[in-house]
């Protein structure tokens, strides 16, 4: 456990960087209290972060750097980070299940001093060369700190959408204000699909661990097929750690589950599955998969609609995730916010990593350009040596009918 230079004289106040997993686990009760008070999001919950550490980060050899800040003995900030080696550089990033999640810091209200101290600790005292921060909300204090850092090397722009369902008193009235998506109003796709047989959409019981494992594996298998079809890289989809993370996330046999698994079947045949992460007052869409043979019925769209209705019924908002897909703007009624993913070099050696990366990219582009030029030259030579066959064929006026036996 490290104590940074930001520690103040009062021993009950100040900042610590916790590197010991046992000390990390000991934070559970006060972390949970802060999460409840701060209306925490799914990825900020202790149980979620503990699963990320035990199921994914620790088995992959990550090193823990959990930044905490106390005022008069009370926990007011917690920010779990991990580091790892990439070639000869040390990379620092938020603790996640291996996927790119929203980056935010769990804090009590008015903790601006604590946030500034946590930022200094992350960029100066975690002994990393590169700091990556995916999907930082533009309205967050963290965005201002990252965008002004002298080592900022890359910033990628995205958007995310949230359906503010707690503000909606009536489901029918809410749906009426949405209009149509791809010429279909809410409920239309499900009614159409229900004509094909016995359509069932339900949330699995939290203690049905056997069904959890079966459905998670089914969903991941179909998600892998989808990524291969659309040429999207998803190495985490092949990770046993990520599979175990999802299964444990929805398990309610020992503790309150931090996720909910929705499944869809037609005449008992699996069609689609969707996992939502549970926050204090907001759901997060995590991952979904479907059988492509049912794609004409848009099962994922139906599942999204059912998930949104479940969130509304349980008085929760729904974070639809990062991306500019039409359905996200539709269900959020345009509540779309800018997000930025930052890459920051915190040392001179870290800046060298980006220099090497840029150099490698330029060399690859030069090799590709030379290959194209060589290919074009070869094609030109071939055309010169071997004229177009169509030009060698006799015209209809001069062509003669073949003799019998020639055809």
Quote the CA–CA distance of 318 and 407 in Å, as a whole number.
71
Q: How far is CA 274 from the centre of its chain?
A: 14
pLDDT for the residue numbered 200: 98
**What's the chain's Rg over C-alpha atoms?**
27
When mean pLDDT is compared across 4-13, 137-146, 354-363, the lowest value belongs to 4-13
What mean pLDDT do residues 230-259 have?
Answer: 92
C-alpha distances (whole Å) from 199 to each of 136, 145, 265 are 39, 50, 6
H/E run at residue 343:
strand 336-345
pLDDT at position 391, please? 43
Q: Residues 129, 346: contact at Cβ < 8 Å?
A: yes
Among 187-196, 311-320, 358-367, whose mean pLDDT is lowest?
358-367
Residues in contact with 397: Cβ distance below 8 Å, sequence separation at least 6, in sequence order: none
Give the chain's mean pLDDT: 91
Give residue-wise pLDDT tens across range 19-51: 999 999 999 999 999 999 999 999 999 999 999
Q: Decide if 225 contacts 214 (C-beta within 8 A).
A: no
Chain mean position to CA 81: 16
Structure-model confidence comparison of residues 155 and 233, the more confident one: 155
List phi, psi (to 5°) of 31: -65, -45
Q: How far is CA 373 from the centre of its chain?
A: 39
Q: What is the pLDDT of residue 61?
A: 97
Q: Is the pLDDT of residue 401 over 50?
A: no
Q: What is the pLDDT of residue 233?
A: 75
First to last CA, the chain: 88
Q: What is the pLDDT of residue 255?
A: 86
Mean pLDDT of 91-103: 96
Task: Kindly indicate the confidence band of residue 231, based on its pLDDT and cuts at 50, 70 and 90.
Answer: confident
Sorted by sequence, the CB contacts under 8 Å of residue 357 that are 6+ apart come out as: none
Q: How far apart are CA 272 and CA 263, in angstroms?
A: 6
Lowest pLDDT segment from 116-125, 149-158, 372-381: 372-381
Residue 178, helix vs strand vs coil: helix
Per-residue confidence (pLDDT) for residue 389, from 0 to 100: 36
Residue 293 has pLDDT above 60, yes or no: yes
Of 3-17, 240-254, 352-366, highest mean pLDDT:
240-254
pLDDT score recorded for residue 381: 67
What the block records as the tokens of 117 is 């101290």
Q: What is the C-alpha separation between 200 and 185, in angstroms, rounded?
A: 20
Q: DSSP code of 55?
A: I
CA atoms within 13 A on the CB side of 202: 12
Range scoring the smallest mean pLDDT among 9-18, 146-155, 185-194, 332-341: 9-18
Q: What average pLDDT score do residues 173-190 get? A: 96
- Find out whether 160 and 135 touch, Cβ atoms under 8 Å: yes
């Amino acid at each position: 456990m490290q104590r940074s230079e930001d520690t103040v004289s009062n021993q009950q106040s100040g900042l610590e960087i916790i590197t010991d997993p046992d000390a990390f686990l000991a934070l559970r009760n006060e972390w949970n209290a802060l999460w409840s008070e701060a209306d925490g999001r799914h990825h900020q919950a202790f149980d979620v972060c503990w699963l990320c550490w035990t199921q994914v980060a620790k088995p992959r050899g990550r090193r823990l750097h959990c930044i905490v800040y106390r005022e008069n003995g009370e926990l007011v900030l917690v920010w779990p980070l991990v580091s790892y080696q990439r070639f000869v550089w040390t990379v620092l990033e938020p603790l996640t299940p291996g996927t790119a999640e929203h980056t935010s810091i769990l804090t009590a209200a008015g903790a601006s001093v604590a946030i500034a101290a946590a930022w200094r600790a992350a960029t100066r005292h975690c002994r990393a060369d590169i700091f990556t921060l995916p999907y930082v909300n533009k309205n967050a204090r963290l965005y201002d700190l990252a965008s002004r850092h002298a080592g900022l090397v890359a910033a990628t722009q995205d958007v995310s959408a949230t359906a503010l369902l707690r503000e909606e008193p009536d489901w029918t009235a809410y749906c009426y204000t949405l209009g149509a998506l791809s010429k279909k109003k809410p409920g239309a796709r499900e009614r159409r699909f229900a004509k094909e047989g016995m359509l069932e959409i339900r949330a699995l019981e939290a203690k049905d661990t056997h069904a959890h494992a079966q459905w998670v594996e089914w969903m991941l298998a179909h998600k892998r097929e989808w990524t291969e079809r659309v040429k999207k890289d998803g190495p985490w989809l092949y990770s046993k750690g990520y599979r175990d993370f999802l299964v444990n996330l929805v398990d309610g046999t020992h503790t309150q589950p931090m996720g909910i698994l929705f499944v869809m079947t037609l005449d008992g045949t699996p069609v689609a599955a969707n996992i939502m992460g549970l926050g204090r007052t907001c759901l997060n869409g995590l991952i979904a998969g479907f059988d492509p043979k049912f794609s004409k019925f848009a099962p994922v769209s139906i599942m999204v609609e059912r998930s949104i209705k479940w969130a509304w019924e349980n008085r929760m908002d729904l974070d639809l995730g990062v991306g500019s897909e039409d359905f996200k703007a539709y269900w959020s009624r345009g509540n779309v916010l800018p997000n930025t993913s930052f890459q920051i070099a915190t040392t001179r050696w870290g800046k060298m990593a980006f220099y090497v990366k840029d150099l490698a990219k330029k060399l690859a582009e030069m090799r590709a350009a030379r290959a194209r030029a060589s290919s074009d030259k070869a094609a030109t030579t071939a055309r010169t040596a071997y004229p177009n066959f169509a030009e060698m064929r006799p015209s209809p006026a001069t062509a003669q009918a073949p003799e019998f036996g020639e055809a």
